[in-house]
Structure 1
Amino acid sequence: MTPGSRYPAHEDLVAPGRSRSQLWRLLLGLGVIAMVSYGLQIVTFLVLLGFTSVEWLLVMERGRTPIAMLILLATFGFLPLGVGLAARLLHNRSFFSLIGAPGLTVQQFIRTCLGGTAVFAVIMVLPPYDFGAPLVANLHWLTWLGLLPLSLLAVLVQVSAEELVFRGYLQQALAARFSHPVIWLGLPSALFGAAHYMPQEAGDNAWLLCLWAMGFGLLMADLTARAGTLGPAIAVHFVNNIVALLILGSPSSLFGLALYLLPYEMSDVAALRPWLWVDCATMLVLWLVARLAIRR
């Protein structure tokens, strides 16, 4: 058995990039993605600055109001533009070839979303019913419901963009060059974890949250390789972020669209670390449920 033979479906994603799999193309492609996304973000911020103030832009960066959070999540939509440009110019492959067969992608996305929603529904009705202290109300429920369609769309844009970069472009380009899964599963996951390093908000918990994100990335990479599409990874990421951004937000940042706030900051070592074990267990259950959802 070859190292990658346990992931036959992954070849459907990787094959279009094998003819142009040189490392310089990957590195240049990452540069293209960064330049396009950050360039368009800067343009967006400059345009907003004409209507607002520097102080409001700082509020937006932390996602502390609904409109700020919606704009912040929407700017993730610039990443797919860079991904599509890099894929076409440097690897001679289409944007949609990074995602997978459309019908199968949608089917796997829906089935995994339903399974993930069921997991969180069960968690919500099981004890304990608080986090050591009462939840803090953030948005009025009528406001929250009114914003929900836009909020769901914004979260879907954000998670889809991240999956396209890490499990789409980066993972597939590495797999086209290197046969061993340790490289093309591990490296994108490590970079995904590093991208979630937030010492200002998380303090002494920053490295633990970084490791958590790395583990999450590894499981999403495995799902993508097993499924042959980005559908399941986007679905798990989507359901997870609905809970984390729209239902139970952190008071540290990115809480503008949340119905409730957790009763502790991300930097609170004593309060957060026990719940990280719960998050790890939940992550594993979501991964297992997704694997059941994609069985053919």
Structure 2
Amino acid sequence: MTRHPYDPHWRFVLPARARSEPKLLVIGILMVEVMYLASLYLMEPFLQLVPLASPAEVAGGTSPRGLLIQLFSFVALGLAVVLISRRLHGRGLASLIGQPGLALQQMLQVTLLLSIATLAIEFIPPDIELLSLAQMRPLGPWLALLPLALAALLIQTGAEELFYRGYIQQQLAARFDQPWVWLVLPSLLFASAHYAPELPPVQAAHYMIWAFVFGLAAADLTARSGTLGPAIGFHLVNNALAFLLFGEAGGMDSGLALFLFPSDPSQSLAPLPTMPHPLPSEDSDAIGLFDPGFLIELLGIGMLWAGARIAIRR
């Protein structure tokens, strides 16, 4: 008998079948969004009472402390998902993640393999030659902050995976047997959350398409593995490269980057195909919707996805 690649997913969604009414899922998504948005609105009053960093630093992620606070604030999203899932569906954290031991093992496997592969690509010619255009932060302080930064990124990526690939994907799969439903719909929601109206239209469209494809890859990894572990590892490596290695000097979410490229578009180069925070450029209107550079970005997602599948042998 041929084994279906998504067999682990059917076991993964079993805890969601008891209360899988679509109206409950819609209510749950709205309640999670409201709770998370409320936490964001409370951030500025909190920072006025506890002046750890200025609100601008946190919103822009332009300093180490500002970006760390921003990333750690995603704990509010994770707590909202767990609370709403328990109240509306009678499900706890373990049911959203899958078998905890297996999830941890798979996350470590994916994180290790993708980290080695992507670092090898970034630090060999010709890519390493591009670093001559960047300013490097002092290595000692950056290394000292690295464990805390990785913990913050794990919270950020884990919370997003818990919401989109855990809660939403599971609840849809418990109700609908067609894979396209629980692959596509959570990915569309993930893409809409990455809408950036401040960007030029083509660049904003690139960002959303990138997020949609990224969401499809994470959803597929979850279905193949039966846990959130591979998707979290996949997401963690992508964001670690974008947040911790490369950034634009003074740019959004650059506070923890080791290498800072100049903000002058005529001098800067895109630091990484999978960078999750595109920045506006003066010549963005001249960029086509499917220009070669953007297709290379999508190829980068495919390479990470293939590497994650190799790591978990699925």
Is TM (by shorter chain) over 0.5? Answer: yes
Name the CA distance, whole Å, in 2 between partners of 1:87 and 1:153: 24
Report the more deviating stretch, 131-140 or 18-27.
131-140
**1:207 alignment partner in structure 2:** 205
Alignment of 1:13-92 (within 5 A): 13-52=12-51, 56-92=54-90
How far off its partner does 1:92 sit?
Answer: 1.1
Report the more deviating stretch, 222-231 or 282-291.
282-291
Segments of structure 1 that go 5 or more residues without pairing to the other structure are none
Counterpart residue type for residue 47 of structure 1: F
How far off its partner does 1:199 sit?
Answer: 3.2
Counterpart residue type for residue 306 of structure 2: L
Classify the secondary structure of the residue corresponding to 2:296.
helix
How far off its partner does 1:118 sit?
Answer: 2.0
TM-align CA RMSD = 2.6
Normalising by structure 1, we get a TM-score of 0.90
Name the CA distance, whole Å, in 2 between partners of 1:275 and 1:77: 34
Is 1:111 the counterpart of 2:95 in the alignment? no
Q: Is the 8 A contact 1:36 1:81 kept in 2?
A: no
Q: 1:253 to 1:147 in 2, by over 3 A?
A: same
Q: 1:79 to 1:234 in 2, by over 3 A?
A: same
Report the more deviating stretch, 134-143 or 95-104.
134-143
Is 1:282 the counterpart of 2:300 in the alignment? yes
Q: Is the 8 A contact 2:47 2:54 kept in 1?
A: no
Normalising by structure 2, we get a TM-score of 0.85
The C-alpha deviation readout for 1:250-294, integer Å capped at 9, x for no partner, is 453111111112425722337996543333222111111111221
**1:12 alignment partner in structure 2:** 11
Q: Is the 8 A contact 1:245 1:255 kept in 2?
A: yes
The one of 280, 284, 287 equivalent to 1:267 is 280
Classify the secondary structure of the residue corresponding to 1:28.
helix
Q: Is the 8 A contact 1:37 1:81 kept in 2?
A: no
Q: Is the 8 A contact 1:167 1:221 kept in 2?
A: yes
Q: Is the 8 A contact 1:144 1:257 kept in 2?
A: yes
Name the CA distance, whole Å, in 1 between partners of 2:133 and 2:166: 37
The one of 215, 218, 222 equivalent to 1:217 is 215
Report the more deviating stretch, 278-287 or 109-118.
278-287
Name the CA distance, whole Å, in 1 between partners of 2:246 and 2:161: 22
Report the more deviating stretch, 258-267 or 68-77.
258-267
Counterpart residue type for residue 82 of structure 2: G
Q: Is the 8 A contact 1:245 1:258 kept in 2?
A: yes
Name the CA distance, whole Å, in 1 between partners of 2:299 and 2:233: 18
Classify the secondary structure of the residue corresponding to 2:127.
coil
Segments of structure 2 that go 5 or more residues without pairing to the other structure are 262-267, 270-277
Is 1:150 the counterpart of 2:163 in the alignment? no
Q: 1:228 to 1:119 in 2, by over 3 A?
A: same
Name the CA distance, whole Å, in 1 between partners of 2:162 and 2:17: 18
Report how many aligned residue pairs link the two structures. 293
Report the more deviating stretch, 138-147 or 148-157.
138-147
Report the more deviating stretch, 40-49 or 10-19.
40-49
Q: Is the 8 A contact 2:99 2:227 kept in 1?
A: yes
State the percentage of identical aligned residues.
Answer: 40
Q: 1:11 to 1:141 in 2, by over 3 A?
A: same
How far off its partner does 1:249 sit?
Answer: 1.9
Name the CA distance, whole Å, in 2 between partners of 1:106 and 1:158: 16
